[in-house]
Chain A
């Protein structure tokens, strides 16, 4: 029994940042990297299933990215993943979620898991597409935005609830192997202990190239993508009137806004 968890190293912007010379992305010097928040929950869900399982269960974390991604894979190992796989080649530069999904699907074929988890979306680019696109390359059953899951290892199906808009839940039964995208709040992700962090530092990370997975140059990067970034720019920030001054002055102005609202409301 095996669960494959696709994880992403996301990037947040520094307070001040600059775009790359070609204007198509942010200069990487201004990016702060971490494990995608959603992926923390999908990893935890996999580890929970493993811990509750009577049969031997392996949790494998897989990520597409350059060497610095090892950092998030070590975090996954420290939080309970048994193995970590990283796939990279410079030809992957410029890949959109569809191209990344093609790579993840190739990795999934090699690993042959019973379930594949991915986060609903990434906190940086918010495509909400990679997991479900991976399912399409595999031709596996799939479901998005899973907020509760019941799965007994070895079972032919899994039962889960999807979190729909407005808090409505949809209960669904799905055939395995399947791809599920996992929503925030499905569990409470654990913190890694110092001991497990140390152990994780000593574990190997398997590094593969797309070629190792049978993919060619046209499968990845811009050629293998369904979209291409033309440019990035800072949007018009809206027109919020900034209330200046210290906290006392700011609170006084806010109090005036509240009192004005109350005065005009019956």
Chain B
């Protein structure tokens, strides 16, 4: 039982960025003689070797699978075979939509120690301890894995920084076992553009969340956004309810506020999926009536108060300004 195995992810030929963060996460877990191996699965995994050749990786495993894209049966068979052959101490995967689809099943089938949405890992007296959030991220939870020789951990994105320096890990070719897949990908569908907003390119975003209460209240925040010159965004519940188009949703399954420098969140509690799309922004101002809302954990400035009162006063501050 030695070594650390990382399972990288690719989709439609593109390496998924959180995969690289796992190399950094793996380093403090090394024990003398431990190697860090990173496996990439697909029809043509070789194409990702150079992008994966980063400091901290000792080996890249190119795993050839019959399926080009993620499929749970394919991943469980391939990763399962790698774990069985190599008996690593720790297996790291991104906490992602794809790992949601296979990691727990693999943990069951191989009897692995298992935790998801982990954002910190350490060894305490030699034992692996993982930290994750609990009760809507309001508490931290330390978990351990008594009696497990291999532990599978799904790590939250952006918890670790990908290594910047490149290296020349050795490359090992792996033929994944054949599977009789029970599900087949038929197609990928891009989110249709329902309006011409560019959330990704916006530098100043005002986002509204569940705290706005009802659809009739959207209009006043749209006017406020116009008045202060911000692009209006929203969290998931607002888009799901159809109050704003999906193209304005910031978060894991929506848009990432990539170019944003000032982000004002009103009535957004700060679900982890929302934070994934905006927590990197340098100036975040959170306005929420719940002082315990998770959004305050990533904000630079916090206003605990009634969003309608603050919005109305802010609107007044900008009266007379050209929109």
Contacts and interface: CB of A to CB of B under 8 A. Distances in A.
Given A101-B104, A142-B105, A163-B97, A250 B305 contact: yes
Contacts of B274: none
Interface stretch (A58-66, A192-200, A228-236): A228-236
Interface string B224-245: 0000110000001101100000
A120 B104 CA distance: 12
A22 interface: no
A56 interface: no
B190 A168 contact: yes
Interface stretch (A44-52, A75-83, A209-217, A241-249): A241-249
A184 B254 contact: no
A27 to B, nearest CB: 12
B101 A171 contact: no
Contact of A171 (B96, B187, B229, B318): B187
Interface string A118-144: 001101111111101101110001111
Contacts of B113: 226-227
Contact of B253 (A165, A175, A261): A165
A74 to B, nearest CB: 24
A230 B103 contact: no
B310 interface: yes
Contacts of B132: 126
Contact of A232 (B100, B134, B249): B134
B135 A169 contact: no
Interface stretch (B36-44, B136-144, B158-166): B136-144
B313 A98 contact: no
Interface stretch (B22-30, B54-62, B177-185, B214-222): B177-185
A44 to B, nearest CB: 12
Given A173-B183, A241-B302, A254 B310 contact: yes
Interface in A166-190: 166-175, 178, 181, 183-185
Contacts of A240: 286, 296-297, 299-302
A171 B133 contact: no
A238 B141 CA distance: 17
Contacts of B246: 167
B191 A136 contact: no
Q: Say which size band chain A's interface belongs to.
A: 35 or more
A230 B143 contact: yes
A173 B108 CA distance: 24
A128 B11 contact: no
Interface string B265-292: 0000000100000000001011100111
A184 to B, nearest CB: 6
B194 to A, nearest CB: 11
B2 interface: no
A169 to B, nearest CB: 4
Contact of B304 (A143, A161, A242, A254): A242
A251 interface: yes
A170 B253 CA distance: 13
A114 B283 CA distance: 50
SS of B interface (majority)? mixed
B203 A136 contact: no
B145 interface: yes
Contact of B272 (A126, A163, A173): A126
A251 B224 CA distance: 12
A87 interface: no
B189 interface: yes
A265 B298 contact: no
A243 B301 contact: yes
Nearest to B302: A240
Interface stretch (B45-53, B83-91, B167-175, B256-264): B256-264
A260 to B, nearest CB: 9
A170 B101 CA distance: 13
B108 A133 contact: yes
Given A226-B114, A227-B114, A232-B134, 10 more contacts: A13-B138, A26-B135, A128-B95, A136-B109, A165-B96, A171-B189, A172-B183, A233-B142, A241-B302, A243-B301
Interface of B: 11, 16, 69-70, 72-73, 95-98, 100-109, 111-117, 129-130, 132-146, 148, 182-191, 203-204, 228-229, 236-237, 239-240, 246, 249, 252-256, 261-262, 264, 272, 283, 285-287, 290-292, 296-306, 309-310, 312-314, 316-318
Interface of A: 11-13, 15, 26, 96-98, 101, 120-121, 123-130, 132-133, 135-137, 141-145, 159, 161-175, 178, 181, 183-185, 226-235, 237-238, 240-243, 247-248, 250-255, 257-258, 261-262, 265
13 contacts: A15-B290, A101-B108, A126-B117, A171-B188, A172-B183, A183-B253, A226-B112, A231-B141, A231-B142, A233-B139, A237-B296, A238-B298, A258-B228
